[in-house]
């Protein structure tokens, strides 16, 4: 009898090829399919000597899999996923399982899941984070959908996932599109953290006049402390990397235009729909948009108007402020993301476990960081914590570092160094920890021009007044 393969994967690109090699390394026989013969050949070469199939032939692929089939799709999010489903659904049988491992919009996953359930085809929406290296050596995996469907692939996903203290960085997230939703918020947090790091870099570079070698050392040192994280680690390495073409630091040769695929924007959009503020993530999305307007920026540039006056800057002091502000704003960004998850959990009835999310984000994924241990501990102490700032230890850390953040902001403001994400983190903190905001005036204005009514501070009820 011909070999039947344990696990199939459609889309042998960056993520798919590496993820499937990882599955193969863990002793499973694998089948890979891509429409591009070159990728199929490359995968065949990579798996030479292992029990595997690599093909462009959909029929051969489907027939080669043991039943019920377990097939992961790792093609670009959006239409390509629909095209793959359309191509394969008629070849599948009831109880076969399709797993979308891409960054699909969670509403697309709900729609696909519903449609396939009419044919008794099981469907999981699974967030996979860690990029190329993570997919190959151990990603963080966020599966959502029917729990029984998850159990069909749990042993495979647990074996390929990153491990932290022997715990696999995978856990069932919840029903329907929970996995894609959690991955979307993961990416939103990722946008925020990357922008914060970029703003701190700008301050150290333009205001502190640190060289790339010094920047590398600073980030390397930070990575040994409480800021320890994947993003800080790679940033240190980026500053060390030389350009093969010019011999300059490679980072200086990269155009200051950051692209995006949409997950940060979706996070901000959805947070607004749910009535939750995520201003640091919003700022990160806005800064990528502003960065894209390079020609306009250039035409309106004020030139090097920063650092107007001579000053006696204490570099070490600036680095110290930067470390504290980066830690402060990092904590704030995670808090915004986790509050969004909590609110979405109620709204979409996902049954998310916040502690499990913090646990599986500790390894394999792009936002892995030492601080996730503190988040995990906060949710262990109180699973239904309404906001991470309500945890006494986390609040203490923020209080300890908020004045340093304010001081760093003064440097940024006085020197015209834009720090939208850093300042939004600070302003968000100040706003959400303030009992009284000036929004009484906004409500008064609304009532003035639109008879939108208002509530009073001294009695129950809804009121409308003639103003002026």
List 142's β-bridge partners, or say none: 127
User: Which residues are paired to 169 by β-bridges?
Assistant: none
Stretches 59-67, 68-76, 226-234, 395-403: which one binds ligand NAP (CB under 6 A)?
Answer: 68-76
For residue 99, state whether it binds ligand NAP (rule: CB under 6 A).
no
Minimum distance from residue 18 beta carbon to ligand NAP (Å): 8
Interface positions, 303-322, toward ligand NAP (CB under 6 A): none
The yes or no reply on residue 131 touching ligand NAP (CB under 6 A) is: yes
Q: Write down the least CB distance from residue 128 to ligand NAP, Å.
A: 6
8 binds ligand NAP (CB under 6 A): no
- If one asks whether residue 36 binds ligand NAP (CB under 6 A), the answer comes out as yes
186 vs 207 by CB, closer to ligand NAP: 186
Considering only CA atoms, which of 305, 228, 289 is closest in space to residue 257?
Answer: 289
Verify binding: residue 16, ligand NAP, rule CB under 6 A. yes
Cα–Cα nearest to 207, from 350, 312, 66, 74: 312
Strand partners, 163: 168
What is the Cα–Cα distance from 412 to 6, expressed in whole angstroms? 55
Given 26, 60, 67, 83, the residue binding ligand NAP (CB under 6 A): 83
At its nearest, how many Å lie between ligand NAP and the CB of residue 317? 37
Which of residues 54, 109, 129, 212 is near ligand NAP by CB under 6 A? Answer: 129
The minimum distance between CB 75 and ligand NAP, in angstroms, equals: 4
Among the listed residues 278, 390, 258, 382, the one whose alpha carbon sits nearest the alpha carbon of residue 334: 278
Q: Any contact of residue 190 with ligand NAP (CB under 6 A)?
A: no
Contact mark string toward ligand NAP, 442..461, x via CB under 6 A = --------------------
- First-to-final CA distance of the chain: 88
Q: Where are the beta strands (DSSP E) in 101-153?
A: 122-129, 140-145
Q: Which of 39, 190, 233, 265 is catalytic?
A: 190
> Which of 11-19, 198-206, 231-239, 349-357 is the region at the interface with ligand NAP (rule: CB under 6 A)?
11-19
Strands 30-33 and 52-55: parallel
Binding of ligand NAP by 10 (CB under 6 A): yes
Q: Using CA atoms, how far apart are residues 296 and 257, in angstroms rounded to an integer?
A: 12
Tokens of 168: 């696999």
Is residue 32 within the footprint of ligand NAP (CB under 6 A)?
no
Radius of gyration from C-alpha coordinates of the chain: 25
Q: How distant is the alpha carbon of residue 369 from its chain centre?
A: 13
- Tokens 């800057």 correspond to 313
Other beta carbons within 10 Å of 304: 9
Among 74, 287, 356, 409, binds ligand NAP (CB under 6 A): 74
CA dist., res. 38 & res. 34, Å (int): 9
Q: Residue from 128, 141, 204, 417 that binds ligand NAP (CB under 6 A)?
A: 128
Is residue 226 classed as helix, strand or coil in its secondary structure? Answer: coil
Cα 366 to Cα 311: distance, rounded to the nearest angstrom: 38
183 in catalytic set: yes
140 counts as binding ligand NAP under rule CB under 6 A: no
Q: Is 80 in the site for ligand NAP (CB under 6 A)?
A: yes
386 sits near ligand NAP (criterion: CB under 6 A): no
Which residue sits closest to ligand NAP, CB atoms considered? Answer: 13
DSSP letters for 314-363: -HHHHHHHHHHHHHHHHHHHHHHHHHHHHHHHHHHT----HHHHHHHTTS
Size of the site for ligand NAP (CB under 6 A): 25
Question: Is 148 considered catalytic here?
Answer: no
Mask for 235-264, x = binds ligand NAP (CB under 6 A): --------------------------x---
Catalytic residue among 39, 183, 233, 265: 183
Cα gap 320→403, rounded to integer Å: 12
Binding interface with ligand NAP (CB under 6 A): 10-16, 34-36, 39, 74-77, 80, 83-84, 102-103, 128-129, 131-132, 261
The residues assigned a catalytic role are 183, 190
């Amino acid at each position: 009898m011909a070999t039947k393969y344990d696990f199939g994967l459609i889309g042998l690109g960056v993520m798919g090829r590496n993820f499937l090699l990882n599955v193969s390394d863990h002793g499973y026989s694998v089948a890979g399919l891509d429409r591009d013969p070159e990728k199929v050949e490359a995968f065949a070469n990579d798996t030479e000597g292992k029990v595997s199939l690599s093909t462009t032939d959909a029929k051969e692929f489907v027939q080669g899999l043991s039943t019920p089939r377990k097939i992961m799709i790792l093609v670009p999010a959006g239409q390509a996923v629909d095209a793959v489903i359309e191509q394969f659904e008629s070849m599948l049988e009831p109880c076969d399982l399709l797993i979308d491992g891409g960054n699909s919009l969670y509403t697309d996953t709900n729609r696909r899941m519903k449609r396939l359930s009419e044919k008794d085809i099981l469907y999981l929406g699974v967030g996979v984070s860690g990029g190329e290296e993570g997919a190959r050596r151990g990603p963080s995996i966020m599966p959502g959908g029917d729990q029984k469907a998850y159990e069909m692939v749990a042993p495979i996903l647990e074996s390929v996932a990153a491990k932290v203290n022997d715990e696999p960085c995978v856990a069932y997230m919840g029903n329907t599109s929970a996995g894609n939703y959690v991955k979307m918020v993961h990416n939103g947090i990722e946008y925020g953290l990357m922008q914060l790091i970029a703003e701190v870099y700008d301050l150290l570079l333009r205001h502190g006049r640190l060289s790339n070698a010094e920047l590398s050392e600073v980030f390397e040192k930070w990575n040994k402390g409480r800021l320890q994280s994947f993003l800080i680690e790679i940033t240190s390495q980026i500053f060390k990397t030389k350009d093969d073409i010019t011999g300059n630091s490679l980072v200086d040769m990269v155009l200051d235009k950051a692209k995006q695929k949409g997950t940060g924007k979706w996070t901000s959009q959805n947070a607004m729909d749910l009535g939750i503020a995520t201003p640091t993530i919003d700022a990160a999305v806005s800064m990528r948009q502003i960065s894209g307007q390079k020609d306009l920026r250039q035409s309106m540039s004020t030139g090097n108007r920063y650092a107007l006056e001579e000053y006696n800057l204490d570099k070490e002091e600036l680095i110290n402020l930067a470390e504290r502000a980066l830690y402060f704003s990092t904590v704030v960004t995670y808090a915004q993301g986790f509050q969004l998850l909590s609110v979405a959990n109620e709204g979409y009835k996902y049954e998310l476990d916040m502690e499990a999310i913090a646990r599986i984000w500790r390894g394999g994924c792009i936002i892995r960081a030492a601080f996730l241990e503190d988040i995990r501990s906060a949710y262990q102490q109180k699973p239904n914590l309404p906001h991470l700032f309500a945890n006494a230890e986390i609040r203490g850390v923020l209080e300890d570092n908020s004045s340093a953040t304010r001081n760093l902001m003064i440097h940024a403001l006085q020197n015209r160094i834009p720090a939208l994400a850093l300042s939004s983190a600070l302003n968000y903190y100040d706003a959400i920890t303030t009992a009284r905001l000036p929004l009484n005036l906004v409500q008064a204005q609304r009532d003035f021009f639109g008879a939108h009514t208002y509530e009073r501070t001294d009695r129950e009820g809804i009121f409308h007044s003639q103003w002026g």
